[in-house]
Amino acid sequence: MTLRSNRKSIIRYTYLFTVFFLSLSGFAQMPIFKRYYVADIPGLGWLAEYYITHYMHYLFAALLIGLCAFLLFDYLFLNRKKLTITATGYIRAGIILGLMLSGILMVIKNLPYTLFSPGFIIMLNLSHLSLVMFLLATGLICIMLKKGWSKNI
């Protein structure tokens, strides 16, 4: 296994691990795991603990932002002449950018003395949830159609 393919698989698995735990902790913010008795399964009780899943979501969001920043700088400064971003890559990157922006606004909303209108908060919550569903659906479609983020020139 070459260094480049090993690096690519590390990045891929880090991304999948991060998105999995972001989705898990994000859905745990809505009390569906307690409501549907998933948290009653031995070993999964932590899914019903709001603050555990809340901080876990923040931790993995920071990891995703760091990973995206690393990949952006890696592409711009090292791989721009070797790789081209595919259409599905641009779609997924746009969805992730929207998730990051709506997530940052949701963090700002949780700060003291920050006043957003109730309508804006509802729009923010619905857009964040919708973008997550679009990202998961797009990822599933790309797996089924074997579409990558980039291809070699």
pLDDT tens sequence across 51-98: 999 999 999 999 999 999 999 999 999 888 888 999 999 999 999 999
Q: What is the pLDDT of residues 15-27, one digit of tens each?
A: 999 999 999 999 9
Is residue 132 one of the residues assigned to a domain?
yes
Task: Please say which residue of 63, 80, 97 terminates a domain.
Answer: 80
Query: Model pTM?
Result: 0.88
Q: Give the pLDDT score at 4.
A: 66
Is residue 129 one of the residues assigned to a domain?
yes
Q: Which range marks the domain in which residue 126 is found?
A: 86-147
Is residue 125 one of the residues assigned to a domain?
yes
Confidence of residue 1 (pLDDT cuts 50, 70, 90): low
Distance from first CA to last CA of the chain, Å, rounded? 21
CB 97 within 8 A of CB 130: no
Closest to 87 (Cα-Cα) out of 150, 153, 15: 150
